[in-house]
């Protein structure tokens, strides 16, 4: 489960997700896959469950889904959008 940074504003835009970080003024745009991962993180879903969901949703093998999800979550963390990952 992830803890999102305070002060984020999210908007859906044609299947993509736009996240505005008010503290930095940065706008982050996520494609449909990133938007799904974001929503699942917000719902308190474990990383492992998100990997399974992405594997099924996009017909990926488990290893590819794990690599993609964990890489994206790491990008969110480096961008300062996540405060913690449990």
- At 84 the pLDDT is 67
Q: Taking the model in full, what pTM does it have?
A: 0.88
- At 71 the pLDDT is 96
- At 15 the pLDDT is 85
* pLDDT (tens digit per residue) in 33-55: 999 999 999 777 899 999 999 99
Which residues of the chain fall below pLDDT 50?
none
Rounded CA separation 48/52 (Å):
6
- At 54 the pLDDT is 96
- At 86 the pLDDT is 57
- At 38 the pLDDT is 93
Rounded CA separation 79/57 (Å):
26
- Domains along the chain with CATH numbers: 2-79 (1.10.10)
Rounded CA separation 11/29 (Å):
10
């Amino acid at each position: 489960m992830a803890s999102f940074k305070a002060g984020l504003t999210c908007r859906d835009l044609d299947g993509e997700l736009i996240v505005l970080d008010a503290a930095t003024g940065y706008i982050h745009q996520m494609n449909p896959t990133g938007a799904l991962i974001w929503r699942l993180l917000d719902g308190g879903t474990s990383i492992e469950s998100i990997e399974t969901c992405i594997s099924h949703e996009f017909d990926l093998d488990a290893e590819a889904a794990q690599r993609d999800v964990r890489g994206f979550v790491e990008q969110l963390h480096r961008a300062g959008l996540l405060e913690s990952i449990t």
